[in-house]
Amino acid sequence: MNKRFALQSITALVLSAALAPAMAQDKPLKIGVTAGPHAQIFEQVKKVAERDGLKIQIVEFSDYIQPNAALAAGDLDVNSYQNKPFLDQQIKDRGYKLVNIGYTVNFPIGLYSKKVKKLEELKEGAKFGIPNDPTNGGRVLLVLQDKGLIKLKPDVGLKATPLDVVENPKKLKFVELDAAQLARSLDDLDAASINTNFALQAGLQPGKDAIAQENAKSPYVNLLAVREQDKDKPWVATLVKAYHSDEVRKFVLAEFKGAVIPSF
């Protein structure tokens, strides 16, 4: 009887240990994403993570500012929508205690126009829309420099602004708008840079509709962010593993056909 009791006790302990990861989570992780590809990708991550006992609730946002504010305030556990230069700038400007726990995907930014088919067709004084946040605005100016339309101050790096433009042969007039508004403002502009997630929401296909695109090998790879105090919690490794799974990689490649590129 004693041996039978001992065997039953060991079996119970083993089962308890196996179930512990799922039982230890008293509520779903809240993951903040921007609507569009980030939300679509996380629906797939959610399926993979839940098989490992990690429950997820996806919370969608329509701008680039609120997901970090919500994460810092404790209203989210993780967010997935930004690149490292943007996160670094937000930490500097707002004092957030947020850290990167894993890289996700890259969205080569596209330049779009309803008035010209090529960048070189832009007329002198053309109105060019760029994002008004420092990270994405600088990113676009670097693309324009790479394409030969402007020249920036030497060594200005990723934080370029229109004030850093030292050569502008076409006298482009930069119109700074919230990144989410650029696609809707395209009719009023000669051209604009539009982040891939907002372009797709507006029915634009980067590979077909963009008149130019950023080099895919850029420093603007997106990431998963958490509060510093949470970076070593057990669920972090499970979440990153789910995102970096072959299942998610295959979904990204099949669904977005090069507009979004896995960076894991």
Termini Cα distance of the chain:
54
CATH architecture assignment, domain 110-213: 3-Layer(aba) Sandwich (3.40)
The stretch 132-146 carries a mean pLDDT of: 93
Residue with token string 């593993």: 241
Top mean-pLDDT range of 42-51, 152-161, 218-227: 42-51
Q: Are 129 and 181 in contact (CB under 8 A)?
A: no
Measured at the CA of 63, the angle between CA 58 and CA 66, to 5 degrees, comes to 70
Q: Which residues of 6-37 are buried (b: 16+ CB within 10 A; e: fewer)?
A: eeeeeeeeeeeeeeeeeeebeeebbbbbbbbb
pLDDT of residue 7: 41
Q: How many CB atoms lie within 10 A of CB 145?
A: 17
pLDDT in tens, 2-61: 444 444 444 444 444 444 444 356 899 999 999 999 999 999 999 999 999 999 999 999
Crossing angle for the helix pair 84-94 and 134-146, to the nearest 10 degrees = 140
The stretch 113-129 carries a mean pLDDT of: 97
The stretch 164-180 carries a mean pLDDT of: 97
Q: Looking only at Cα atoms, what is the longest distance across the chain?
A: 93
Domain 2-107+220-262 in CATH 3.40.190.10? The answer is yes
The token pair at 29 is 């992780």
pTM of the shown model? 0.74
All CATH 3.40.190.10 domain ranges in the chain, comma separated: 2-107+220-262, 110-213
pLDDT in tens, 77-108: 999 999 999 999 999 999 999 999 999 999 88
Is pLDDT above 50 for 262? yes
Crossing angle for the helix pair 66-73 and 84-94, to the nearest 10 degrees = 60
